[in-house]
Amino acid sequence: MHDFQYQGDELFCEKVSIQHIVEQVGTPCYIYSHQTIHRHFHAFDDAFEDIPHIVAYAMKANSNIGVLRLLAKEGSGADIVSGGELFRALKAGVPSNKIVFAGVGKSPEEIRYALKSDILMFNVESSGELQQIHEVAQAMGLRARVALRINPDIDPKTHPYISTGLKKSKFGIAADQALKEFELANQLSHIEVVGVHCHIGSQLTQVTPFVDAIKKVLSLIKTLQSQGLNIRYMNIGGGLGITYSDETPPHPKDLAAAISPLLKTASCQIIMEPGRSLVGNAGILVTKVLYNKEGANKQFVIVDAAMNDLLRPSLYEAHHDIQPVLKNESTPVHTVDVVGPICESGDFLAKDRKMPQPQSGDLLAVMSAGAYGFTMASNYNSRPKTPEVLVKDDNIMVIRERETYEDLIRGESIPEIFT
């Protein structure tokens, strides 16, 4: 559910027309609904209210500090995967004791920064990483709190690129090696083992994979506790999907109904890491039609947004609905490719899409773009990054200015030998 709705023939975000926002910031631009993010966070938080838990928002989905501040004010923590994300989370006011640091490749500098910031814990992915964290903590005279990430070999039934819980994945420690790794971790003087972590993938549309993974993790936790390890946290990851087209993912309350009876036996505080499900349908990318082009076998709608602004269609062949900002029921429907200006054949927002044929100057809204939209954007073809706008009721807040050409070369220099 989201707050982008038509009032008459015009698309609005909450109480503000999209056309009015575009008049202020131009195109392309990202627009987010405060009300949608607020509602989606509490859908998770309230669904698990009977179980001690932390909602640690997976900020790789959308890391704008305005969005992070909104969530932090509601009580959210953060799931981070880099030192840069830690910096953003702290700047936005996320409490350090609600921050968990995941990812397979943490550098010594990032580990040092996280220990200095006194984050809740690291999610450890390998023996090598565990040793690195131990060495850094030892040099700092600290003990690092860690959870070991277990790969349960569960098929999440999602796109291969966002499936993380199978044996062939780079993520986590194989389930049959888990006890050995926990034993090693428990022997390290500057490591405090506090939890078990599991995350099987993203854009999950079924509850069953969650249930299967949690059963495996619970069995491991009981074994570890019987061996004297004080496992205080069980991190169940995130990955609940959203509706992009015709998917019907479970609501957080449906997920809670399926897994809460299991979680209540864990005697642990639960950490969950939703990302896409909080912000995905809370954002759109607005683009302007530049031209229509009649190809030999195809009709192309060329717009001013491109794969550098929204990579998901090019990377995953992901589907995003595309809606006119101003509807005209008399517009004929054609099958078109919606493509951007970038010099790549893979630069498209939609292929073979049946839609009302837009004309030059028309505005189109690329829906469900709040997650993995701006965070995956680049300056490819030296294109300035788009602005980001947050709307609350009738208030328009620019939470990132559009980049300028000068921004593109900031930090670059021409060697003196060429001057």
Would you please indicate which residues are annotated as catalytic (active-site) residues? 343
Q: What's the CA gap between 53 and 160, in Å, rounded?
A: 29
Using only C-alpha atoms, the chain has a radius of gyration, in whole angstroms, of 23
Distance of CA 108 to the CA centre of its chain: 24
Residue 78: Cβ within 10 Å count? 30
Q: Any idea what DSSP says for residue 204?
A: B
Beta strands in 176-273 (DSSP E): 191-197, 233-237, 269-272
Contact (CB, 8 A) for 317 and 280:
no
- CA 316/CA 214 separation, integer angstroms: 28
Q: Three-class SS of residue 17? A: strand
Sort strands 348-356 and 395-400 into parallel, antiparallel or unpaired.
Answer: unpaired
Q: How many CB atoms lie within 10 A of CB 397?
A: 12
Q: How many residues does the chain have?
A: 419
- Under 8 Å between Cβ of 252 and 44: yes
Residues paired with 324 in a beta bridge: 364
Whole-angstrom Cα distance, residue 236 to residue 238? 7
What are residue 129's phi and psi, to 5 degrees?
-65, -40
As a whole number of angstroms, the distance between CA 56 and CA 49 comes to 15
* Residue 116, helix vs strand vs coil: helix
Which residue, among 330, 395, 310, has the nearest Cα to 66 in the 3D structure?
395
Strand duo 144-151 + 191-197: pairing: parallel
Query: SS3 letters for 165-188?
Result: CCCCCCCCEEHHHHHHHHHHHHHC
Bridge-based pairing of strands 77-80 and 99-101 is parallel
Q: Could you tell me the two tokens for 91? A: 């700047």
67: tokens are: 């969005």
